[in-house]
Structure 1
């Protein structure tokens, strides 16, 4: 299978110092310096023209596997900035009216809607729903949401839907930002599920989830699949996925429901990678997605990008592999430039922008960003 990967653990050519690091295949370009200070937990969104960054905290990064204390009230931030890749320039945004800890942010095409949960622990934070108008650089308040937990928002053109990742956390909710009205969705037909995801397709959602009986399982399992119609608040159960998956990140691409995650989490891992899969929505037929030929060790050494979804020719489901469905191929993102573990990544349509994340020693967060235009698939 075609791939742009460099074999990072392959032997060196004659005359090459074996201690030299392998040559970089992917060359990132540094973004202009951000006006924001170092921070983690930042909210982000791509508007189609700008990358928006909001809030976060100055607490120390938490290393993998560590048990860390959350940020204090003094460490929470409310400022923000927007980056325009066409001009390579930043501009400051109006401060949010309050802290945004554990909030979720969704772009509607006109506003950034931020749903903030109430906190009453080490940090006291009121529940709020806030809408930021990019053109006017102003905030407005909407009625606070009724739930304790919210999943990532999905916009369908008229309402924002907040599916919960696990049904034990509560119900799914929808918000009409024009009226401020919240409504609770009827329960899905799965009878309890986790790793749930909503994908908007024309006039309905396709909803995936794993049964609660699979909690703690180590093998990729087939996902339950259902259809939800918001106009009637009704569900219809569909056949489960034809193969198992390791990751609940799903996308709509070229009339197909797609899961492309190919990853390795530990050095030297011989993990049996998810085959991924795609559902042709016109025919109802499942088929594989293009697979990398790299080993778990090579994938571990690549850039661990956050999921960046479909844009242009490529889909990034998270990790170092980008997938093209047509032509069917993959490409390997072999490095993250100066970012050890990027905090966020977005597609502009032609470029990938990534920003922030911890330094190599997990001592502080970086406030730098990089950009890269992937080559056309071939």
Structure 2
């Protein structure tokens, strides 16, 4: 068995990861008082379409971590010497420390306190006014940093396992789910911020799986995965399985298997979970499955029923990342590209950025809007031109 099976999952990439060469650590960015500010009270996010949020106090960079607090987008770290597309960069890697926050309603920026250590390959979650950031140190260790947003203060936190965990916010709790149980089997965990302790979750009813992901419905945490078998897809499609965990009772319940091939990411809207991944697969000419199985779809956890995406574009074989937005939240993937209005069931399109297209930028779902920061261009294919521009896309209606 191999982790290459994760290619079945068309997950949206909100913060891309890349190897980097060895840039020097930058000097600290200026204080909040010296940082350029947008006019107070200016509503930068009004009107549909793209709007620039000028005045970033951060230096040009790629691969910063972006997290939404409910009011601001936190932009943390990143690198200033990304790998060229298709390259395999070796040697030391020096991530950036500086971090900032921007309010998309006012366009106002503020510089954050610097984290105690710079991290690569970051992921994170915001729970109860605190940002939890997990990543790799330059020596390739795993670290957890905890940022108190109101106090503008960082501290070091703990992780329940050395590697292989993804952080998932769920109300006032933080969960850590294993991405696969192929090479690192073990439990999933829940963190209770008031107790500052990690606790193992009861074993889920699905058994060992790969391409594991979790999504919060507002009441339950739903686990998605694929069953571990010797040759996935050889004897039929490796469909997505699901089970729901109720934190209040501490119990799991098994949900019916789907006919989907993807395990997320998921938008919670109207009591349903929506995976806007497009396209599907039929097994190919050898070992054909007899029909095309879609990557994305819709789950009603309460009813335990699955349904297809409404009128999904490009529904043939192959696949692509789609996006979806609801009333107050969203899942954003590639841009430009198809986007589903979850309230109306209608598809639209995210237009190109009003600047030269960049790679390795940071994409944050800022409520149901999309914030894009930084990134790199490769005009001659060898040296990056970095950006520090920030753009906000607001959906229509």
Global fold match (TM > 0.5): yes
1:315/1:202 Cα in 2 relative to 1: closer, same or farther (>3 Å)?
Answer: closer
Equivalent residue for 2:362? 344
Confirm whether residue 137 of structure 1 aligns to residue 152 of structure 2.
yes
Equivalent residue for 1:368? 389
Equivalent residue for 1:146? 160
User: C-alpha displacement at 1:155, in angstroms?
Assistant: 2.3
Query: CA separation in 2, counterparts of 1:324 and 1:88?
Result: 25
State whether residues 45 and 51 of structure 1, in contact with CA within 8 Å, keep that contact through their aligned partners in structure 2.
Answer: yes
User: C-alpha displacement at 1:82, in angstroms?
Assistant: 0.6
Confirm whether residue 359 of structure 1 aligns to residue 371 of structure 2.
no
- Structure 1 portions without partners, runs of 5+: 1-25, 265-271
Q: Which 4+ runs in 1 deviate beyond 6 A?
A: none
1:316/1:113 Cα in 2 relative to 1: closer, same or farther (>3 Å)?
Answer: closer
Confirm whether residue 249 of structure 1 aligns to residue 289 of structure 2.
no
* Pick aligned residue for 2:76 from 29, 37, 54: 54
Query: CA separation in 2, counterparts of 1:181 and 1:313?
Result: 30
1:332/1:294 Cα in 2 relative to 1: closer, same or farther (>3 Å)?
Answer: farther
Equivalent residue for 1:41? 63
Deviates more, 1:29-38 or 1:208-217: 208-217
Query: CA separation in 2, counterparts of 1:188 and 1:357?
Result: 39
User: C-alpha displacement at 1:257, in angstroms?
Assistant: 1.8
User: C-alpha displacement at 1:97, in angstroms?
Assistant: 0.7
Equivalent residue for 1:291? 311
Equivalent residue for 1:269? none
User: C-alpha displacement at 1:166, in angstroms?
Assistant: 0.9
Query: CA separation in 2, counterparts of 1:207 and 1:359?
Result: 37
**How big is each residue's C-alpha offset from its partner over 1:307-350, in whole Å with a ceiling of 9 and x where there is no partner?**
6x644288545231111233221001232332333633233335
What is the RMSD of the two structures over their aligned residues, measured on CA atoms? 3.2
Number of matched residues?
329
Confirm whether residue 163 of structure 1 aligns to residue 164 of structure 2.
no
Equivalent residue for 1:334? 351
1:328/1:125 Cα in 2 relative to 1: closer, same or farther (>3 Å)?
Answer: closer
Higher RCO (CA-CA < 8 Å; seq separation 6+): 2
Normalising by structure 1, what TM-score? 0.75
Q: What pairs up with 1:214-233 in 2 under 5 angstroms? A: 217=233, 221-231=238-248, 233=250
State whether residues 175 and 190 of structure 2, in contact with CA within 8 Å, keep that contact through their aligned partners in structure 1.
Answer: yes
1:367/1:274 Cα in 2 relative to 1: closer, same or farther (>3 Å)?
Answer: farther
Query: CA separation in 2, counterparts of 1:323 and 1:314?
Result: 12
State whether residues 266 and 331 of structure 2, in contact with CA within 8 Å, keep that contact through their aligned partners in structure 1.
Answer: no
1:294/1:80 Cα in 2 relative to 1: closer, same or farther (>3 Å)?
Answer: same
1:157/1:325 Cα in 2 relative to 1: closer, same or farther (>3 Å)?
Answer: closer
* Pick aligned residue for 2:294 from 260, 263, 274: 274
1:62/1:237 Cα in 2 relative to 1: closer, same or farther (>3 Å)?
Answer: farther
